[in-house]
Each structure stands twice: as C-alpha cells, then as structure tokens.
Amino acid sequence: MNIHEYQAKEIFRQHGIPVPPGEVARTAEEAERMAHKFGGTVVVKAQVHSGGRGKAGGVKLARSPEEAGSHASKILGMHIKDLKVDKVLITPAEDIATEAYVGLIVDRASKRPVFMVSSEGGVDIEEVAATNPDAIRKLEVDPRYGLLPFQAYGLATALYDDLKQQRAAARIMTQLYDAFLESGASLAEINPLITTQSGDVKAIDAKMNIDDNELFRRAEIEELRDESSEDPSEVQAREAGLTFIKLDGNVGCCVNGAGLAMATMDLVKYYGGEPANFLDIGGSSNPEKVVSALRIITADPEVQVILFNIFGGITRCDDVANGIVAATRQIDISIPIVIRLTGTNEELAVEILQNAGFSALTDMDKAVERAVNFAKGEGQ
Amino acid sequence: MSIFADRETRLVVQGITGRDGSFHTRQMIEYGTQVVAGVTPGKGGQQFDNRVPIFDTVEEAVLQSGANTSVIYVPPAFAADAMFEAADAGVEFIVCITEGVPVLDMTRVRPFVDEKGARLLGPNCPGLISSGKSKVGIIPGNITDPGPVGLVSRSGTLTYEVVAKLQGAGIGTTTCVGIGGDPINGTSFIDCLTAFEEDPETQAIVVIGEIGGTDEQDAARFVQENVTKPVVGFIAGQTAPPGRRMGHAGAIISGSSGTAEEKIQAFHDNGIGVAKRPLDVVGLIQEALG
C-alpha cells in the first residue's frame, strides 16, 4: 500500500524526525489560507501516489498566499501519470544548503533491511545508482540487533563532515529505522534530507510504502489508505477478496492463482489478443467471489469477451461453475464467456455449466485462442 | 530418487485441526505421506481422524513421534512463530504454506532457521510432491506420476498446469517443488537445482519463474556453471505492467529490473531452453530427454 507524503511525514514526526510543518488543502482557498498562516514563501506539493511530481509540474514555490492559491488551483485536478490530484500539501519553503538521500528498503538479495544513503540527494536515486554507484553507501541491518549506533553514525559520515550534522543525521537514521519497523514498511525514503543555511538537518520530503501483509496487525496504517487515489474497480476487488489490476486490452481474464493468471495474460498476447486485466480469484474460492469478479470485469466497457481459466486444486471447479451461473442470473452479460476448467470436481462443474447452457473446455490454449477470436469479432 | 521428501519423511502438521490443515492432511495421508503428528495448542492428547496424535507444541510432537519434517497451515499472524518453533524443535525440513506472511517477519525467521541448520520451503508456496512417495503441502496428487523430470517453480496453479501437460504427454516427475512467490523465502531455485543435479533419477529439469527480483537470473548463471543436466524454463508475466504487484508479494517489476524479458534473456544466454507457452515445455523436455 502507498501512503501520501503528508501521511509519511506525520509518521516521521511521531518518531522524532525533524520535518517542517505542513497542512493539506483540497481547494485553492484553503491553500491560500494556509500559506497566509505560515507566512513567507511556501511550497505547494501535489499529494498523489506517483514519483516525478516535480517534473510533472506538481510542486511549485509560492512567494505570497495569492500565488499559493493560484498554484493550488492549477495543481488540483491535474493528472500525474494517470492519477488525479485532489490534495496539495502546503509547507514553508526551506533555506537549503545541501541535499542528501536516505533510503531504507527490504532487500530481496540480502534478505535484510538495507540502508542506502548518498550525499547526492534531491535527484532520481536510480540515476545516481546507474551513473555513479560509488556515491551511494549501503548498509545491511541485522534485524536481530537493529541499527546499531556506530552503524547509524557511519552512514551519517557518508553525508556530512560536521560533527553536529553527523550526529543529527545518525539520530534520523535510527528514527527512520524505528518508523520503518513500526509501520510495517517495505520502503522508506527521505529525498532530500537537507541542511539549512543555519546548519539544521531536516527531512523535507517523505515516502513510505507499506507491506500489504502487515495491514492485518496495523489498523492505524490501514486507516491511511486513500481510496480516492486508487482505481475504483481495484478497490471493489480488494473488498471482495480478489486481486485485480486493470490493463488496456479487451479480453477480460478470470483465473485462479497469480502465476497462472500472468501466464494466461501472456497467452492472450501470444494468440494476438490483449488482456483487459489481471484477476486472481485466489485459492479457496466460493461462488460469491466469482460473481464479484464478473461484476468487476463486465463494468469495463472495453471488454469484448470473458475468459475463465481455472486449474482446480484447492479451488473447486464446481464452485466456480456455480458462481458463473449465479452471476449470469444477476448481471446482464451480453458478451461471450469462454470457460476453461480442469482439476478438482471438473466433471461436476461441466454438468452444472451444461445444464445452464454453457460449454466448457479443458485445454488452456484452445480456450485462449477462442477468446481472442471473439475479441477480434471473429466468433467461435 | 527424489529431493527433500521421500518415503522416510515423517511429517508433523502445524495447524492440523484448521480448515486447510485438516483437508490437506487427509489428502497427504491418502497419497501415502507418513503423517506422524499434528500440532494445535490446547488440543494435545486428542487424535486427528482417530489416527494422528495431536500435541500442544512442536517440541513434544518431535520427541514423541520422531517427526523430521513439518508443514505449516496456520494464519499469517502466527506463521513466523510456527517457523521459529519448528526450527527450534529440531525439525530438518519446514514447509510453510501460509500466504500473507509479513516480509519483515521473514527477515528474522530466515537467519534463525539457517542457524538451526534446517531447510525452509516457502512461505506462500504449494509445497512439494515426490511422485509416488510423499507429498507435503497442497499440490494435487493426481496430476503427476513418477518419471525423470525435476520441476521447480515460484507459482502454484501454473505449476499444476505444466506438470499436468507433461503427464498428458506421458512424462512423469521425480519431485515437483513450489518455492513460493514471496520476496524473502527459504529454499531457492539454486538449492533445488543443486539437489536435482545430485539426484541420479532426475534426467532433466524444468524451472518456472515469474517477474520480480533476480532469482531466475542467478539460477541461470548457476545452471551454466554447475548443472550438467538439460534445463528448460518458462517465465510468466511478459504482459505485466511495471510497478504493479501481480498477486504474489514478490511479483513486481521495479524500475527496469525484474522484467520477464530480462529473465528470458538470462535463460537464453546460459543455455536454458525457454518455452514460449506452458505447453511448449513438453516439446522442449521431450527433446532434452532424447
């Protein structure tokens, strides 16, 4: 799950990381009022789950409350990488002397939380990693001992020469590690970590991604979820216990298992079609899940055909068949449905489907080919 | 022969009285797996289906039943503790089926399991099946017969698809292993390749990967340097968009790394035949077996 900058900053504040004050505005008037309250120059920052906000024109400096209002009116409603901006963060502009990068991720290779810091901050860190890898210092943290004080100090020395700033940065590393663990994050990033002209060290941006698997035990983090910034069909799918990702094609796919779902999308492409979505109905499916899945798929006007690909293991084919029959009674589906079922209770499923006037295939390739033909308007 | 599980496997089921645990315990017994104990706190002293003794703790189960392998079907909130407990009790091989285990939990479980000298498979995996001998986990028992192919995969139902297609062509397996789709897990592709290389009955190996991470690339280099048997591969997720998690916690293309294209290239560069479709694995394996 992604959270917004203003939410990540609030988590940082709770852990003692120095962060400038900020307020969230949903209208230009609110933005102007907040800018007036802070006084002086402020920054208006789009709050959207996307990188590259600055390049897209979603971050602007305002020298007066009126200017803040006019920037906000332009940023609110704009789209950054297909995501609509409906909130801006108003925060006092800082007097920046230097910009550094601090990142913490769970690293697959070392199987540990890993810090990455660089004195070259404020820019795309992937670019620094590609062009000047020596400018990045890495540290693997042993989760059994946590980030030890000498390790935090070592990271800080890669950023600053001044002892006071080194100590301030070391404290921030430790606080960031705590925030990361207590939020169940998979990524936490400060880009940039700045020093001001007067020598203070501050985090003026904040990014956190949360491991979805942590949410069951972190209700306070789950509350930060912003459904308005997600695709409505993906929200609906999550509530129904399905994993759904919308794509651009017209072959609606309904599959059990993530690997098979991806392979099905690939096979649609192989036979000359384009998948409309990724949809995994999960392991122990019940008929209601299938009904929800069909509702979500058919809500997309681009979809020309629905393809079921079920390999029954824990998932029982008869459950899926019952779901298809129930759904077609509840929803008016005017496009063809191609069904492939094999595995647990396959015979029962075929019987249920035949009684309801559907036919079912057992071969994945044949089913995908047929679905692609329907999508191209070639029938069969 | 087979890898990791065979007729000597003595299995303890953690979460034996739960919905999934009880269903799959019956399936495993039916397949011929020696299920020697179950664990459910508070139900120690009872019997499962009048045949499997239940214990409160894994330690007790191991002491009383001589279990050497465990399979975990507990909810995600308790899965890390179940893995710690099994490793601490001296279980040699731990298979965690549970999906949804927080990745930060795994950063603590993994070093503990390694220090105890245990092997972990999963979490979020379908387990494994050593054809005709033993199955541990949830892979349906009827989709593969004994034969010369060793198979390792990051996914569940896609594995069934490929294995069933091989069965349709009359080709059986030594062992099928599902290592799971999480970013931090136990047994890797390389661990399985090493074991299949050493297994005299395995004559060819299938590796089924997917987008995300670099495990397939590492496996490909390992094959080039260390595996003498023919290896055939398939990668799922060629049409997956970057930055979106495709179901599995580990199946995400980050930046420009972890793409299907990159993995397929790594397979080609290291002498691994790549199937364009799951079905094409059959032809490539037939060729490999001669």
Chain B residues in contact with A211 by the CB 8 A cut-off are 102-104, 249
Q: Give per-residue pLDDT as tens, A53-75.
A: 888 899 999 999 999 999 999 99
Q: Give per-residue pLDDT as tens, B266-290.
A: 999 999 999 999 999 999 999 999 8
What is the pLDDT, as a whole number, of residue A51? Answer: 78
Alpha helices (H) in A257-316, listed in sequence order: 258-270, 287-298
Is A216 within 8 Å of B77 when comparing Cβ atoms? Answer: yes
Q: Which residues contact B181 (CB under 8 A, 6 or more apart)?
A: A258, A259, B124, B125, B154, B155, B210, B247, B248, B249, B250, B251
What is the pLDDT, as a whole number, of residue B87? Answer: 98
Per the CB < 8 A criterion, the answer to whether A250 and A220 are in contact is no
Task: Name the stretches of chain A with pLDDT < 50.
Answer: none
Q: Which residues of B, range 156-175, sit inside 8 Å of A by Cβ?
A: 156-161, 164
Averaged pLDDT for residues B175-202 = 97
A199, A235: one domain: no
Q: Which residues of A, range 110-129, sit inside 8 Å of B by Cβ?
A: 111-113, 126
In a domain, A380, yes or no: no
Per the CB < 8 A criterion, the answer to whether A311 and A340 are in contact is no
Burial of A82 (0-12, 13-18, 19+ CB in 10 A): exposed
Cis amide prior to A192 (ω within 30 degrees): yes
Sequence ranges of the domains in chain B: 10-121, 139-289
A311, A211: one domain: no
β-strands B173-178, A305-312 pairing: unpaired
CATH of B10-121, picked from 3.40.50.720, 3.40.50.300, 2.60.120.260, 3.30.470.20, is 3.40.50.720
A308, A179: one domain: no
Is A106 within 8 Å of B103 when comparing Cβ atoms? Answer: yes
**Range(s) of the domain holding residue A89:** 21-93
Tell me how far apart the alpha carbons of residues A341 and A360 are, in angstroms, rounded to a whole number.
7
Contact of A32 with chain B, judged by CB distance below 8 Å, is answered with: no
Chain A residues in contact with B241 by the CB 8 A cut-off are 245, 247
Tell me how far apart the alpha carbons of residues A291 and A319 are, in angstroms, rounded to a whole number.
11
CA dihedral sign, ordered A137, A140, A143, A144: negative
Is B111 within 8 Å of A344 when comparing Cβ atoms? Answer: no
Alpha helices (H) in chain B, listed in sequence order: 19-31, 58-65, 76-88, 103-115, 157-168, 189-198, 215-226, 260-269, 280-289
Last residue of some domain: A185, A209, A230?
A230
Q: Which residues contact A378 (CB under 8 A, 6 or more apart)?
A: none
| Residue B24 to chain A, least CA–CA distance (Å) | 9
What is the pLDDT, as a whole number, of residue A132? Answer: 85
Is B108 within 8 Å of A262 when comparing Cβ atoms? Answer: no
Per the CB < 8 A criterion, the answer to whether B193 and B205 are in contact is yes
What 8-state DSSP symbol labels residue B212?
Answer: S
A367, A251: one domain: yes
Contact of A108 with chain B, judged by CB distance below 8 Å, is answered with: yes
Please pick, among A5, A99, A101, A346, the residue that the annotation labels catalytic: A101
| Residue A112 to chain B, least CA–CA distance (Å) | 5
ipTM entry = 0.94
Sheet holding B204-210, edge to edge: B134-137, B127-130, B173-178, B146-153, B204-210, B231-236, B273-274
Nearest CA in chain A to B246: A258
What is the pLDDT, as a whole number, of residue B256? Answer: 72
Chain B residues in contact with A365 by the CB 8 A cut-off are 277, 279
What is the pLDDT, as a whole number, of residue B254? Answer: 78
CATH of B139-289, picked from 3.40.50.2300, 3.40.50.261, 3.20.20.80, 3.40.309.10, is 3.40.50.261
In a domain, A9, yes or no: yes
A238, A326: one domain: yes
Of A111, A243, A256, the CB nearest to B157: A256
Nearest CA in chain A to B154: A259
What is the pLDDT, as a whole number, of residue A311? Answer: 93
- Give A60-78 as a DSSP string: EEESSHHHHHHHHHHHTT-
A6, A154: one domain: yes
In a domain, A170, yes or no: yes
What 8-state DSSP symbol labels residue B241?
Answer: P
Nearest CA in chain A to B238: A266
Burial of A47 (0-12, 13-18, 19+ CB in 10 A): buried
Tell me how far apart the alpha carbons of residues B39 and B45 are, in angstroms, rounded to a whole number.
10
Active site residue A189: yes
Report in angstroms the alpha-carbon separations of A186 from A205, A214, A284, B19, B265.
Answer: 17, 10, 27, 31, 28
Tell me how far apart the alpha carbons of residues A255 and A250 are, in angstroms, rounded to a whole number.
16
Q: How many CB pairs under 8 A join A and B?
A: 158
Amino acid at B235: I
Report in angstroms the alpha-carbon separations of A230 from A76, A101, A362, B207.
Answer: 16, 28, 36, 35
Contact of A216 with chain B, judged by CB distance below 8 Å, is answered with: yes
Contact of A273 with chain B, judged by CB distance below 8 Å, is answered with: no
Is B246 within 8 Å of A258 when comparing Cβ atoms? Answer: yes
**Would B10-121 and B139-289 be classified into the same CATH topology?**
yes
A155, A16: one domain: yes
Chain B residues in contact with A344 by the CB 8 A cut-off are 140
- Which of A365, A295, A363, A296 lies closest to A329, judged by CA? A295
- Which of B286, B161, B265 lies closest to B221, judged by CA? B265
Domain of A172: which CATH number? 3.30.470.20
Q: What is the pTM of this model?
A: 0.94
Contact of A284 with chain B, judged by CB distance below 8 Å, is answered with: yes
A14, A134: one domain: yes
Tell me how far apart the alpha carbons of residues A343 and B4 are, in angstroms, rounded to a whole number.
26
Q: C-alpha A17: how far from its chain's center?
A: 24
Is B107 within 8 Å of A266 when comparing Cβ atoms? Answer: no
Alpha helices (H) in chain A, listed in sequence order: 5-14, 28-38, 65-75, 125-131, 149-157, 163-183, 219-222, 232-239, 258-270, 287-298, 317-330, 346-355, 364-375
Active site residue B248: yes
- Which of B85, B25, B84, B94 lies closest to B59, judged by CA? B85
Q: C-alpha A346: how far from its chain's center?
A: 36
Chain B residues in contact with A312 by the CB 8 A cut-off are 140
Per the CB < 8 A criterion, the answer to whether A268 and A278 are in contact is no
Above 90 in pLDDT, residue B98? Answer: yes
Cis amide prior to B123 (ω within 30 degrees): yes
Of A142, A258, A315, the CB nearest to B181: A258
A218, A237: one domain: no
What is the pLDDT, as a whole number, of residue A379? Answer: 65
A interface test, pick of B104, B116, B188, B206 with most A CB neighbours within 10 Å: B104
Nearest CA in chain B to A181: B104
Please pick, among B5, B248, B260, B272, the residue that the annotation labels catalytic: B248
Tell me how far apart the alpha carbons of residues A83 and A47 are, in angstroms, rounded to a whole number.
10
A217, A119: one domain: yes
A320, A247: one domain: yes
A266, A251: one domain: yes
Contact of A215 with chain B, judged by CB distance below 8 Å, is answered with: no
Angle in degrees, 0-180, between the axes of helices A287-298 and A317-330, rounded to the nearest 10: 50
Last residue of some domain: A33, A61, A93?
A93
Of A106, A109, A313, the CB nearest to B157: A313
Last residue of some domain: A166, A199, A230?
A230
Tell me how far apart the alpha carbons of residues B253 and B204 are, in angstroms, rounded to a whole number.
29
Joined together, the tokens standing for residue A17 give: 């990381």
Number of domains in chain A: 3
- Which of B213, B203, B255 lies closest to B235, judged by CA? B213
Joined together, the tokens standing for residue B42 give: 């508070």
